[in-house]
A and B are shown apart, each in its own frame.
Chain A
């Protein structure tokens, strides 16, 4: 028996109307049971078109990775946990001939099959130019989220989400995305009129929107900035330290393996968790969040929709 199985008890959804609970009649926080809301976040980064496992003579990862194996593990988790989020932190493209020949079509089709909820944009997503990305985007049945690239003067205008709110049970999860400076890293002819904005300012603005306007329970950042640099260049560690509401950063670009996730203190003295899984899809990151019943949340029904909202007590 493992932690996972012990905590698998499903969370009792309690809808409040005018302050009274419907259904069970007792608000869950007062019901005295130990139910916790369990969210499992699965994440990848820098998978770099490794659709097949590495060949058996590979010195580092013989027969490891591969989309079909990743998909099997994801299904296994979905069978065990009700609320799963599946996210990617960019650089899906480039690294094997699959990308050179098919331009990202199989990667996005297969990720859609696996049920990815969102990805952000890595620098290698620009490798076939904006047109190259635009052409294969229809194969992605999930949104690409980026908050600090301005695509309004490009063919990607309105095809990339600035942020996204997802619901899992009674949890409201806000996701924003940060991309790396393209100048000097990606050819100008490839990124065209994409305008890069300072990720720190954008992160601060995004978390305010997600927390204070949308009252998200959890604020996630999908980042392709890289984990940390000696030079002090903006990175996930920098973002963590300069934000107040971002709970988790799922990162990429530096191909860093963070196992367990890093813990960095934010501007409000709270812990931000940073995950990154190396590269080439040979690993799947997993974070299990167990929401405390004493987390100070009251679930109330929204006036305008049936979506559950909470207010802090």
Chain B
């Protein structure tokens, strides 16, 4: 069986350095045809891990009204995640200066899979947000906040945001509202984001050297699970709308 498939995809290289060796390379697909058996000993070890994991992962957290996918400049999944992370962030944040969080910015690349209609399992949420990212509140100067909007306007991908309304013209911010108020470059702003982005991830360099950096001590995924459990306990389903929070104008 194996020898048969190795014959496939084989090639012989007769390059200039063939004085030393010939090399044949191939890539073997690990399906049940090429490799009908699995390793028993490994299966046994995997079983130990799988059993405890499965019990945990197959739990249904909540039901969804519809499919939620990420999108650009906005998407249902972008809005769903950003809104609830913003809500939970505001709930747990205890500011020293009495000022609450102005808005929330996450990243498109961080939303790994869509949410289906119907059952949302724990596993699905882990697949949506596999990274162990923590919620962080970053205080930015007005100038840096301006760079943030320039970044959003220039980005090819729709970044999940909550608490702002951004109109983009020619890849530049055209109109920016924060919590319904016009953006003021002379003010500082508190932005809820992930520690990954706060560390300059996705080239969000405006987050580097902030006025203040406050870890909320909660993972983004945990916030989402918490929200879903609450919605479910209320006998409701999760849903999300497109509301034009980021739009491109001519």
Residues of A within 8 A of B (CB): 2-5, 51-53, 63-73, 75-77, 80, 94-102, 106, 109-110, 113-114, 127-128, 183-190, 247-248, 257-261, 263, 269-271, 273, 275, 277-278, 281-292, 294-296
Contact residues in A for B19 (Cβ distance below 8 Å): 292, 294-296
CB contact between A106 and one of B37, B49, B132, B196 (< 8 Å): that residue? B49
The distance in angstroms between the C-alpha atoms of A216 and B122, with both chains bound, is 50
Interface centre among A187, A291, A292, A294, by most B CB within 10 Å?
A: A187
CB contact between B22 and one of A69, A275, A278, A292 (< 8 Å): that residue? A292
Are A184's CB and B202's CB within 8 A?
yes
Are B26's CB and A286's CB within 8 A?
yes
CB of B25 to closest CB in A, whole Å: 4
CB contact under 8 A between A286 and B6, given known A110-B42, A270-B16, A292-B19: yes
Contact residues in A for B13 (Cβ distance below 8 Å): 263, 271, 273
Are B27's CB and A257's CB within 8 A?
yes
CB contact between A68 and one of B4, B39, B53, B133 (< 8 Å): that residue? B39
Are B26's CB and A259's CB within 8 A?
yes
Known: A186-B196, A247-B17, A285-B26. 11 other contacts (CB 8 A): A4-B6, A64-B31, A72-B35, A73-B2, A94-B131, A96-B130, A189-B195, A190-B199, A286-B27, A288-B24, A292-B18
B20 within 8 A of A: yes
Are B126's CB and A100's CB within 8 A?
yes
CB of A131 to closest CB in B, whole Å: 12
The distance in angstroms between the C-alpha atoms of A263 and B133, with both chains bound, is 39
Contact residues in A for B30 (Cβ distance below 8 Å): 53, 64-66, 69-70, 73, 281-284
Are A68's CB and B43's CB within 8 A?
yes
Are A51's CB and B46's CB within 8 A?
yes
Residues of B within 8 A of A (CB): 2-4, 6-7, 9-11, 13, 15-32, 34-35, 37-43, 45-46, 49-50, 53, 56-57, 122-123, 126-127, 130-133, 195-196, 198-203
Interface centre among B13, B15, B25, B45, by most A CB within 10 Å?
A: B25
CB of A169 to closest CB in B, whole Å: 13
Contact residues in B for A282 (Cβ distance below 8 Å): 29-30
Are B126's CB and A186's CB within 8 A?
no
CB contact between A5 and one of B3, B25, B195 (< 8 Å): that residue? B3
Are A66's CB and B6's CB within 8 A?
no
Interface centre among B15, B42, B203, by most A CB within 10 Å?
A: B42
Shortest Cβ distance from A185 into B: residue: B201
Contact residues in A for B34 (Cβ distance below 8 Å): 73
Please list 29 pairs of residues, one from A and one from B, whose beta carbons are closer than 8 Å in the complex, sorted by A's number.
Answer: A3-B6, A67-B42, A68-B40, A71-B42, A72-B38, A72-B39, A77-B2, A97-B53, A97-B56, A97-B57, A99-B130, A100-B130, A106-B49, A110-B45, A127-B131, A187-B133, A187-B201, A188-B199, A259-B9, A259-B26, A260-B26, A282-B30, A286-B25, A286-B26, A286-B28, A287-B23, A289-B23, A292-B20, A295-B20
The distance in angstroms between the C-alpha atoms of A261 and B35, with both chains bound, is 22
Contact residues in B for A67 (Cβ distance below 8 Å): 42, 46
Contact residues in A for B203 (Cβ distance below 8 Å): 184
Contact residues in B for A248 (Cβ distance below 8 Å): 23
The distance in angstroms between the C-alpha atoms of A116 and B40, with both chains bound, is 18
Shortest Cβ distance from B131 into A: residue: A127
Are A184's CB and B7's CB within 8 A?
no
Interface centre among A65, A75, A188, A291, by most B CB within 10 Å?
A: A188
Contact residues in B for A188 (Cβ distance below 8 Å): 199-200
Contact residues in A for B27 (Cβ distance below 8 Å): 257-260, 275, 277-278, 283-286
The distance in angstroms between the C-alpha atoms of A63 and B207, with both chains bound, is 42
